[in-house]
Each structure stands twice: as C-alpha cells, then as structure tokens.
C-alpha cells in the first residue's frame, strides 16, 4: 500500500428521463467537469459499462476514456468496470493499448462478469458461459499486453499469431478485477494486479491471494464507487442530493432482482425499491462534514490498504450544483491524504 490515498469520480453517463437533456450537452458538460476536477486535485476518472439500459448507461467505456484522455494530463483513467464477456480479447487489448498510449500511460483496466441476463441476450451470449469466457479473456489479454505473439484455442476464443504492436508506456496496463462473492474473488487473486470492490470484502481477497501463493502486499485495492459527498450543512445537502442517488439505488435494485436475483452480492440481501424517504433514512448516502469524511477514510484504511477511492457522481444532477461539493472535498479532504 502506498502512503497516500487518492480520489476520483465515476461517471456512468446516464441520462435519466426525469432530468433528461440533449445527449451532446450531457457528454460535453461531463468532459468539462472531468477536466475541471483534475485542476482542483482529483486523481481519477472512471467509466463503467452496461448495455440496453433505458437511461443510456455508458455502453463503451474505452471510447469515453479516449475522449477524457484528450482533455486531461495527469489523472488516472479507468474502466470501472468493463464487462469482459462482451469483448473479443484481441480487440479489447488493442483498444486498451491505444487509450493507454493516447493518455501517455494513465489507463487502468478493471473488469467484471456483468450480471444482467438481458445484456447477454442482446449480445447473443449464453449467460452461463460468462465465467469461462472471462477466464479465457483474462489469459489472452494479459499475454497480448506483454508483447507476446499468441496462438490460442479455447472453448470461446481461437486466435492465431495474434499480437498488439502498441506497447504500454509503462510496460504494462494495471489490471483490476471486480467481484462481490467468495467464488469470484479467486479469479481476482489469480488474474488481477488488484481488486476493485468493497472494503468489507478485502479480507476475503487477502485470503484468496494467500491461497494462490501470493503475498497480500502484492495485491492492490481500490474502493469502488462510493456514494459519499461532503457539505458544511449535511442535512440540507441530503435533501438536495438524495433524489439523484435514490434513482441510482432503485435502478440497481431493479436490475439485481429482474432475473430472480443471481446471488451476486453477498454482503447484503438484494436491494429493494425504496421510497425517497426510506432511502434518506437508510443511510445509503453518506453526507458528511469534511472532518467526518477524513475520519471515515482513516477508518477505511485501518480495515483495508486502500490506495484509491472512486466517488459516485449521480446521474441527472446538474454538474454545476454538484461542483461545490467536489470543490469542498478537494480543498479540505484530499490534502490530508497526500
């Protein structure tokens, strides 16, 4: 673990119907906001992935990251997460290498399985094959990034004399794997440079590293999308921000339950639909003063050696209204962990 703790935001590029605006405006405003966050001290921009979502949830994170790379100079850029089963490994390795070169070596890849059956249906992929597809994918991509010319014949992918001529400026592209179950954590420990997920599951990750014959110090940990903001008046901020985070919570609740719930999340029961008042009372959104946030992250680091935290920017919110919370965080929280 490094001594510093860095922070970035996750941008899902959704355009919910209650607050819908022209898509060109949404993307332009988001790019402007990201470049501004770099100037005030944030160190990351992350784009996730989903498909066939009514609100336009980002379907192509590497495309978005290429645009972000052109608008930034310093911050790390990451998929948070890209869904491995929907990619051909050679194409993904090539596209990732291009974004890494465009950004001068700032790309970090985080991958996961995905869990929505309607996504695999749309792509014509058998839902049950996701784990085996991802396992082959991970084997191939890592070898291609290393500069190897590869022939591979597996259940899902067949490659002959494949290689990626673009070399990552750092010599490699860091690879994180997301997981929320003990079984999936074995894949994280075996194939990933680190784990992108929840601090409460770090001990499971550390145990899996040891089972794979690795030192726990060899595994890196990034905290995935965290619904946390700072404000001088948390009660007032909660009233203003809750509708946007409530939309996120209920959307994921619908998705996790739409196929009869596949047991992906082991930490809690599957989310259920909440009224806005129930959501505010549940404490799912952390609205803290800056001193409270500092203690929150110190406590997190006492439990897990987190290096980087991605904070959630909720869809629908006018970014001009969210900016004061980002600026306060950059001014009073970020410097404490430098």
Q: Dihedrals φ, ψ of 236, to 5°?
A: -65, -40
E-strand stretches of the chain? 6-10, 44-47, 76-79, 82-83, 107-112, 150-153, 158-162, 175-178, 194-197, 220-226, 228-230, 286-288, 308-312
* 253 within domain boundaries: no
* 173 within domain boundaries: yes
DSSP 8-state secondary structure symbol assigned to residue 199? G
* 266 within domain boundaries: no
**Are the C-beta atoms of 51 and 122 separated by less than 8 Å?**
yes
Token pair belonging to 16? 């919910």
Q: Dihedrals φ, ψ of 129, to 5°?
A: -90, 0
Tens-of-pLDDT digits for all 338 residues of the chain?
Answer: 557 999 999 999 999 999 999 999 999 999 999 999 999 999 999 999 999 999 999 999 999 999 999 999 999 999 999 999 999 999 999 999 999 999 999 999 999 999 999 999 999 999 999 999 999 999 999 999 999 999 999 999 999 999 999 999 999 999 999 998 888 999 999 999 999 999 999 999 999 999 999 999 989 999 999 999 999 999 999 999 999 999 999 998 888 878 755 444 443 444 568 999 999 999 999 999 999 999 999 999 999 999 999 999 999 999 999 999 999 999 999 999 99
Three-state SS at 150: strand
* 83 within domain boundaries: yes
* 326 within domain boundaries: yes
pTM for the full predicted model: 0.95
Q: Which helix (H) or strand (E) holds 295?
A: helix 290-303
* 201 within domain boundaries: yes
* 250 within domain boundaries: no
What are the distances in angstroms from CA 75 to CA 9, 39, 63, 78, 308? 11, 10, 17, 10, 12
Q: Which domain holds residue 121?
A: 6-233+286-337
* Domains of the chain: total: 1
* 278 within domain boundaries: no
Q: What is the CATH number of the domain that holds 302?
A: 3.20.20.30
**Are the C-beta atoms of 23 and 59 separated by less than 8 Å?**
no
Q: Say what angle helices 89-102 and 61-71 make with each other, to 10 degrees.
A: 10
DSSP line for 306-321: --EEEEE--TTS-HHH
């Amino acid at each position: 673990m490094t001594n510093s703790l860095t922070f970035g935001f996750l941008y899902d590029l959704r355009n919910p119907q209650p607050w819908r605006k022209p898509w060109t405006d949404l993307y332009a405003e988001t790019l402007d906001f990201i470049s501004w966050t770099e100037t005030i001290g944030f160190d990351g921009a992350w784009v996730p992935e989903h498909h066939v979502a009514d609100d336009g949830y980002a379907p192509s994170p590497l495309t978005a990251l290429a645009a972000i790379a052109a608008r930034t100079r310093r911050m790390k850029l990451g998929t948070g997460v890209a869904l491995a089963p929907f990619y051909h490994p050679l194409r993904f390795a090539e596209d990732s290498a291009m974004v890494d070169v465009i950004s001068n070596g700032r790309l970090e890849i985080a991958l996961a399985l995905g869990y929505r059956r309607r996504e695999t249906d749309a792509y014509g992929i058998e839902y049950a094959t996701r784990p085996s597809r991802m396992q082959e994918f991970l084997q191939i991509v890592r070898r291609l990034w290393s500069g190897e010319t590869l022939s591979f014949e597996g259940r899902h992918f067949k490659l002959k004399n494949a290689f990626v001529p673009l070399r990552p400026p750092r010599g490699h592209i860091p690879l994180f794997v997301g997981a929320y179950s003990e079984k999936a954590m074995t894949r994280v420990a075996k194939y990933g440079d680190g784990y992108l997920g929840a601090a409460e599951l770090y001990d499971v990750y550390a145990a899996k590293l040891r089972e794979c014959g690795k030192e726990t110090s060899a595994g890196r940990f990034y905290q995935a999308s965290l619904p946390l903001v700072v404000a001088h008046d948390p009660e007032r901020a909660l009233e203003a921000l809750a509708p946007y985070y409530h939309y996120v919570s209920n959307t994921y609740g619908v998705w996790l339950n739409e196929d009869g719930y596949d047991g992906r999340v082991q930490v809690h029961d599957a989310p259920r639909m909440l009224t806005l008042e129930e959501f505010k009372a549940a404490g799912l959104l952390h609205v803290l003063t800056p001193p409270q946030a500092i203690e929150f992250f110190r406590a997190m680091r006492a439990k897990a050696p987190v290096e980087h935290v991605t904070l959630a920017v909720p869809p629908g919110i006018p970014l001009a209204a969210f900016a004061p919370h980002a600026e306060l965080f950059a001014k009073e929280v970020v410097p404490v962990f430098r």
